Structure 1
């Protein structure tokens, strides 16, 4: 299944992307092989992700997330983390 994700870089900036494997993509980013942007801001960590039925849906969502303001990305991350914390309880 394809995923859309948001990474937080060491400098606090965000990076949006899509992948079919979250684990492999995080390894690629942290090894400096996935993106020129994240390569200069290591290490990175996932702070948000969504699962989709198709690659096209994931890519559309990636573009929509990239267009968000930083404040809206922060709200997205905050609500995602709150919902995941509730699931752990």
Structure 2
């Protein structure tokens, strides 16, 4: 089952980052005041963007990196000026490591 990383615009102009299986249902929770503590005091206005991931672990890892972005960078991600791949660390190499000469 896919998981989604999502970006919400809040009433104070901030951008909230979270993960969920159903973004629309999660947005409804935030809007009703039963979502994250952050969005209880900064009412969400709209979903800016959502990105699909294969599983919770990969969505959670992406959330970790996106939460470290500046608000302008999160907005650039939402508009497509930045790609999700560009803000995540590269995947580990699957090629065998070259051995150092002895």
* Residue pair 1:3, 1:58 contacting (<8 A) in 2 also: yes
Displacement of 1:55 in angstroms is 0.3
In the TM superposition, residue 14 of structure 1 has moved relative to its aligned partner by: 0.6
- Partner in structure 2 of residue 22 of structure 1: 23
Aligned partners of 1:36, 1:61: CA distance in 2, in Å? 21
Q: How far apart are residue 72 of structure 1 and its match?
A: 1.2
Q: Does 1:34 align with 2:35?
A: yes
Please report the TM-score for the alignment, with normalisation by the length of structure 2.
0.73
Structure 1 stretches of 4+ moved >6 Å: none
Q: TM-score, normalised by structure 1?
A: 0.83
- Measured against aligned partners, the alpha-carbon deviations of 1:25-47 in whole angstroms (never above 9, x if no partner) come to 01100000011110111143110
Task: Output the CA distance in 1 between the equivalents of 2:22 and 2:60.
Answer: 14
Higher relative contact order, structure no. (Cα contacts within 8 Å, ≥ 6 residues apart): 1
**What is the rounded CA distance, in whole Å, between the counterparts of 2:42 and 2:50 in structure 1?**
20
Larger Rg: 2
Q: CA RMSD in A?
A: 1.2
Question: How many residue pairs are counted as aligned between the two chains?
Answer: 80
5+ long unaligned stretches in structure 1 = 81-89
Matched with 1:72 is 73
Structure 2: unaligned runs, 5 residues or longer: 82-102
Q: By percentage of residues, which structure has more helix?
A: 1
